Amino acid sequence: MDGQLDVAPHLGAGSYALWHRWRSCLGTAADERVLREYAGLAPDYDRRWACYTAATLRETLKRLDFQLEGPVLDVGCGTGSLLWELQRRFSTLSFTGVDASPEMLVQARSKLPPCVALEQASAEALPYSDAAFRCIFSTSALHHFRDPERALREMTRILAPGGHLLITDWCGDARTCRALMAFLRCFRRSRFHLLRSAELGRWLEGQGLEDISVERYRIDWLWKLMTARARKAAGV
Ligand SMILES: C[S@@+](CC[C@H](N)C(=O)[O-])C[C@H]1O[C@@H](n2cnc3c(N)ncnc32)[C@H](O)[C@@H]1O
C-alpha cells in the first residue's frame, strides 16, 4: 500500500482502482528495457554467452552441498541452461522455470523436456503460493531485477520451511565488475543493480533466512561472481 494513502482520498472509486493497478504494476513488473534487451538477445544467447554460462553453472552446482529435493524453481531462468543440467542430474524431481522474457522462454522450451514447467512472470511478483518450493535457484539474474529486494522477499515467501536458496550473481566487490557495470549503464538501456557481497548477505538476513553464506570467486580476469546460500528455518 506504499504511496497510496496520500492520493487515494482525492480519487473516485474507478480512478482509484486504475491508479492502484498502475502503482502495483510499477513495483512488480519487469523493466521494459530489460525485456526489450532480452527479446533481441534470446535467439543467439546460448552461443554468445556459452563460456560465461558454463562457468556460472559449474560454480553454482559446485556449491550444491545439500540433498536436493523438489519441487525446484529457477527464477530468471533465461534459456533454461541450469534447468537442463539439474533435470539431467536429478531426473526424478520436479522443476519449474520462471522468466519475464517470452523470447528467452521460447529458447528454454525448445531445449527442455515437457516435464519442466516454464512460466512467464516477474521475479517481483511470483505466481506461486507460499512455501511451494523446496529449493530456489537464480543465476546471473538478480542484477537485472527492477526491485531485487522485493524479488528476494518473493523467493523467501514461496520457499518451504527448511528449503534452500542459491543465488549466483556478479559481485560488486570487484573493481572490474563495477567498471563493467558503469560501462553497461552508459551504453545500454537496461537497468542494473550491482550488489556487494555484504549487502546481499544483509538482505538475506533481513528476510529472516538462516545458515547464510556468500562466497566470492573469479571465473576470469573480468568477472568476479558470488554465490549466496541460505535456508529458511524449519517450522516457519
Ligand atoms: C543474464 S540472463 C540469465 C539467464 C539464466 N539464469 C542463466 O544463468 O543463463 C537474465 C535473465 O533474467 C531475466 N529477467 C530480468 N528481469 C527479470 C524480472 N524482473 N523477472 C524475471 N526475470 C527477469 C531476463 O529475461 C533474462 O532471461
Residue 22 CB-density burial (10 A; 0-12 exposed, 13-18 middle, 19+ buried) = exposed
What is the number of the ligand 1 atom nearest to the C-alpha of 122?
Answer: 20
Q: Which pLDDT does position 121 carry in this prediction? A: 97
Tens of pLDDT, residue by residue over 181-216, are 888 888 765 667 899 999 999 999 999 999 999 999
Ligand 1 pocket member 56 (CB < 6 A) = yes
Ligand 1 pocket member 101 (CB < 6 A) = yes
What is the number of the ligand 1 atom nearest to the C-alpha of 29?
Answer: 19
End-to-end Cα, the chain, rounded Å: 25
Using an 8 Å Cβ cutoff, are 69 and 135 in contact?
yes
Q: Can you tell me the mean pLDDT for 4-25? A: 41
Residue 219 CB-density burial (10 A; 0-12 exposed, 13-18 middle, 19+ buried) = middle
What is the number of the ligand 1 atom nearest to the C-alpha of 38?
Answer: 25
Using an 8 Å Cβ cutoff, are 3 and 22 in contact?
no
Q: Which pLDDT does position 184 carry in this prediction? A: 84
Q: Which pLDDT does position 231 carry in this prediction? A: 98
Nearest CA residue ID for atom 19, ligand 1: 30
pLDDT averaged over every residue in the chain: 88
Ligand 1 pocket member 105 (CB < 6 A) = no
Using an 8 Å Cβ cutoff, are 171 and 143 in contact?
no
C-alpha 56 – ligand 1 centre gap (Å): 14
Cell 492502484 belongs to which residue? 20
By three-state DSSP, how is residue 119 classified? strand
C-alpha 144 – ligand 1 centre gap (Å): 7
CA neighbor of 214 nearest in space, from 223, 222, 177, 202: 202
Ligand 1 pocket test target in 38, 72, 112, 142 with most atoms within 8 Å of CB:
38
Using an 8 Å Cβ cutoff, are 139 and 202 in contact?
no
The residue ranking higher by pLDDT, 27 or 186, is 186
Q: Would you say residue 4 has pLDDT above 90?
A: no
Lowest mean pLDDT among 36-40, 78-82, 129-133, 155-159: 36-40
Nearest CA residue ID for atom 14, ligand 1: 76
Cell 521475479 belongs to which residue? 123
Tens of pLDDT, residue by residue over 225-234, are 999 999 999 9
Q: Would you say residue 16 has pLDDT above 90?
A: no
Q: Which pLDDT does position 190 carry in this prediction? A: 62
Q: Would you say residue 31 has pLDDT above 90?
A: no
What is the number of the ligand 1 atom nearest to the C-alpha of 146?
Answer: 19
Which residues have a Cβ under 8 Å from the Cβ of 198 and sit 6 or more positions away?
214
The residue ranking higher by pLDDT, 132 or 178, is 132
C-alpha cell at 116: 519442466
What is the number of the ligand 1 atom nearest to the C-alpha of 123?
Answer: 20
Lowest mean pLDDT among 6-10, 148-152, 164-168: 6-10
**Given pLDDT bands bounded at 50, 70 and 90, which one contains residue 236?**
low
Ligand 1 pocket member 45 (CB < 6 A) = no
Ligand 1 pocket member 28 (CB < 6 A) = no
Tens of pLDDT, residue by residue over 174-185, are 999 998 888 888
Q: Can you tell me the mean pLDDT for 133-145? A: 96
Largest CA distance in the chain: 57
Tens of pLDDT, residue by residue over 74-129, are 999 999 999 999 999 999 999 999 999 999 999 999 999 999 999 999 999 999 99
Q: Would you say residue 10 has pLDDT above 60?
A: no
